[in-house]
């Protein structure tokens, strides 16, 4: 008997089943996403992306901010969501973007899951497994559910493309990945490579390369919206400056995302465990044609990650060519596997547990295995949700050096009400939400690193010159003020208890008896 191919999967009309069930399960998955992220904001990357989007549409907003004035790379995101910042506050825009991206991702997940496991509520169970394994099993810090940014709009189109390919609709699948690439060139681009590997392994028997040319060309043209801005980030920059910028980006700023030998050993172990679990379930479902393409996509993502490991080992250890290593490793080789391998695991587990013969489904072993897997992943996800709901500090501040969140907000509110809108501040280096909360320009932060090569080198200089600025003399602060055009300095006395003060006036806190850890000085 011939095995089924992707072309023999249900047509599009039956891909989602009854629309009422589709809507109900999509809303249930969206609710899980919302609980996972929790209510406080901003999320870690939201000030980074949304402040950039707001500045793009209104350059007079924080006109002197170094990071916001640097060239960007995510213009499709700015065009899609950024214009809302002209009319609505940043937190409101963030919530609108979150809800849209969560709904889109939930709908895409339900669509893909139901194609493989046409059982009601199974898509909710597989979403829980996927979310839990991505959260606890990632290697390089990638995620698909969180605060709004470019990739949160890209991943729904990746899932949609995978579902379309399962139905042997390769042309619209490539177009969908083109849209994903427009929102985030690396998420969409690596997904194109992984799905191309899946086509080689599984799909080429049913679909020829020439029959996909229309979709490939259409998707390629759409992807230029994300590719061209990325290419312009190094255009016209001398090779030696490009090399320095690449090494700074890869080995100093983002090695935890880009350099496997610098990644946390615990993260390496967790990812290896998830990968081993996926391999076991993928092998157990290898004869099911519904899972072949999904598992081939996961294999494609691991091939990409394997190339990243090879580059790391060959150029960093054998050849000690850190210049070439940085040029290659800056492309986030481990990004897709963090999401695709848990995806393959979740759907393989779901298929194995829920799509079985009636007599097998009645067995005690089957019921027990379903209960154990769902209970374990639900508890794991519940621990994460409880921790986020109980946290009094938003993630953008919790992961930075905000020593007293209540006093931080009070200080930022005072700045908004009592300083000029075009004022520039020298702020604590490791905080990430000053622009979001105070809505004033700042000299430099560790989080807001530009992607354009020249600006990246400028970021390095600013960061080096302002590091531990609390230890500088008044005249040294004045010299920095002359070079970087800031008029105010924020000091966190909790993190710098040895701070002795300067000879220019302190303007905050106004009350001399205040115990706020934050002090603001006006440079004169």
Domain map (residue ranges) of the chain: 17-235+244-390, 398-522
Decide: helix, strand or coil at residue 426.
strand
* Long-range pairs, 142-145, Cβ under 8 A, ≥24: 142/257, 142/334, 142/335, 142/336, 142/338, 142/339, 143/338, 143/339, 144/105, 144/339, 145/33, 145/36, 145/37, 145/102, 145/105
Looking at residue 399, its pLDDT comes to 61
Q: Are 36 and 128 in contact (CB under 8 A)?
A: no
Looking at residue 357, its pLDDT comes to 41
Confidence of residue 288 (pLDDT cuts 50, 70, 90): confident
Average pLDDT of 360-385? 75
Per-residue pLDDT of 396-416, as tens digits, reads 877 666 778 899 999 999 999
Q: Are 397 and 433 in contact (CB under 8 A)?
A: yes
Q: In sequence order, what are the beta bridge partners of 492?
A: 518
Percent over 70 (pLDDT), the chain: 94
Decide: helix, strand or coil at residue 425.
strand
Write the DSSP symbol of residue 403. Answer: S
Alpha-carbon span 290 to 347, nearest angstrom = 10
- At 226, list the tokens: 């994300």
Q: In sequence order, what are the beta bridge partners of 425?
A: 442, 488
By CB atoms closer than 10 A (0-12, 13-18, 19+), residue 308 is buried
**DSSP result, 449-473:** --SSHHHHHHHHHHHHHHTTGGGS-
* pLDDT for 150 beyond 80: yes
- The number of residues in the chain equals 524
Looking at residue 9, its pLDDT comes to 46
Decide: helix, strand or coil at residue 374.
helix
How many helices (H) and strands (E) would you count in the chain? 23, 5
Closest CA to 335 of 309, 306, 305: 305
Looking at residue 4, its pLDDT comes to 44
* pLDDT for 377 beyond 90: no
By CB atoms closer than 10 A (0-12, 13-18, 19+), residue 112 is buried
Alpha-carbon span 149 to 50, nearest angstrom = 8
pTM assigned to the model: 0.93
Alpha-carbon span 430 to 437, nearest angstrom = 15
Per-residue pLDDT of 179-219, as tens digits, reads 999 999 999 999 999 999 999 999 888 899 999 999 999 99
Average pLDDT of 471-497? 92
Closest CA to 353 of 344, 365, 339, 341: 365
Looking at residue 195, its pLDDT comes to 98
Per-residue pLDDT of 153-177, as tens digits, reads 999 999 999 999 999 999 999 999 9
Half-sphere exposure of 492 (CA within 13 A, CB side): 19
* Helix (H) or strand (E) segment spanning residue 522: strand 518-522
Decide: helix, strand or coil at residue 518.
strand
Q: Are 192 and 174 in contact (CB under 8 A)?
A: yes
Looking at residue 1, its pLDDT comes to 36
Confidence of residue 8 (pLDDT cuts 50, 70, 90): very low
Closest CA to 491 of 390, 375, 411, 399: 411
Residue written as token pair 């354009």: 452
Mean model confidence pLDDT for the chain: 91
Looking at residue 360, its pLDDT comes to 54
Q: Are 426 and 217 in contact (CB under 8 A)?
A: no
Looking at residue 367, its pLDDT comes to 64
From the CA atom positions of the chain, what is the Rg in Å?
25
Closest CA to 154 of 106, 107, 188: 188
Q: In sequence order, what are the beta bridge partners of 491?
A: 519
């Amino acid at each position: 008997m011939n095995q089924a191919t992707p072309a023999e999967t249900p047509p599009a009309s039956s891909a989602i089943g009854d629309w009422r069930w589709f809507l109900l399960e999509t809303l249930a998955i969206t609710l899980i996403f919302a609980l996972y992220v929790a209510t406080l904001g901003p999320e870690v990357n939201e000030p980074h992306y949304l402040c950039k989007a707001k500045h793009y549409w209104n350059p007079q907003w924080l006109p002197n901010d170094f990071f916001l004035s640097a060239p960007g790379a995510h213009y499709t995101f700015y065009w899609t969501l950024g214009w809302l910042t002209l009319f609505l506050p940043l937190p409101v825009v963030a919530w609108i973007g979150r809800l849209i991206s969560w709904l889109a991702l939930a709908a895409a997940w339900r669509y893909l899951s139901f194609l493989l496991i046409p059982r009601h509520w199974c898509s909710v169970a597989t979403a829980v497994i996927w979310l839990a394994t991505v959260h606890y099993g990632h290697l390089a810090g990638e995620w698909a559910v969180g605060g709004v940014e470019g990739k949160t709009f890209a991943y729904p189109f990746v899932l949609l493309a995978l579902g379309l390919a399962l139905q042997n609709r390769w042309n619209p699948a490539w177009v969908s990945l083109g849209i994903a690439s427009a929102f985030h060139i690396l998420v969409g681009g690596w997904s194109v490579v992984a799905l191309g590997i899946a086509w080689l392994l599984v799909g080429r028997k049913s679909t020829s390369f020439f029959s996909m040319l229309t979709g490939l060309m259409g998707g390629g043209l759409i992807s230029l919206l994300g590719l061209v801005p990325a290419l312009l980030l190094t255009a016209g920059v001398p090779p030696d400056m490009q090399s320095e910028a690449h090494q700074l980006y890869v080995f100093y700023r983002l090695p935890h995302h880009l350099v496997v030998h610098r990644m946390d050993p615990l993260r390496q172990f967790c990812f290896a465990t998830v990968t081993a679990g996926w391999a076991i379930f993928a092998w157990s479902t290898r004869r099911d044609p519904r899972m072949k393409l999904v598992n081939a996509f996961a294999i494609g993502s691991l091939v990409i990650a394997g190339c990243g490991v090879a580059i790391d080992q060959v150029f960093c250890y054998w050849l000690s060519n850190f210049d070439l290593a940085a040029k290659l490793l800056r492309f986030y080789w481990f990004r897709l596997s963090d999401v695709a391998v848990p995806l393959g695991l979740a759907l393989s587990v779901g298929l194995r547990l829920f799509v079985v013969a009636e007599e097998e489904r009645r067995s005690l072993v089957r019921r027990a295995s379903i209960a154990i897997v769902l209970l374990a992943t639900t508890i794991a996800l519940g621990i994460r949700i409880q921790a986020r709901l109980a946290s009094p500090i938003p993630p953008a501040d919790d992961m930075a050096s905000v020593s007293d969140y209540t006093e931080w907000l009070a200080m930022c509110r005072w700045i908004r009400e009592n300083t000029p809108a075009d004022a520039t501040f020298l702020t604590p280096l490791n905080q990430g939400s000053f622009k979001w909360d105070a809505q004033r320009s700042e000299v430099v932060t560790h989080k807001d690193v530009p992607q354009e090569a020249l600006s990246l080198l400028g970021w390095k200089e600013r960061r080096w010159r302002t590091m531990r600025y609390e230890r500088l003399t008044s005249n040294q602060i004045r010299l920095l003020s002359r070079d970087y055009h800031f008029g105010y300095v924020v000091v966190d006395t909790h993190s710098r208890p040895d701070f002795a003060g300067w000879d220019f006036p302190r303007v905050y806190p106004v009350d001399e008896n205040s115990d706020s850890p934050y002090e603001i000085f006006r440079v004169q």
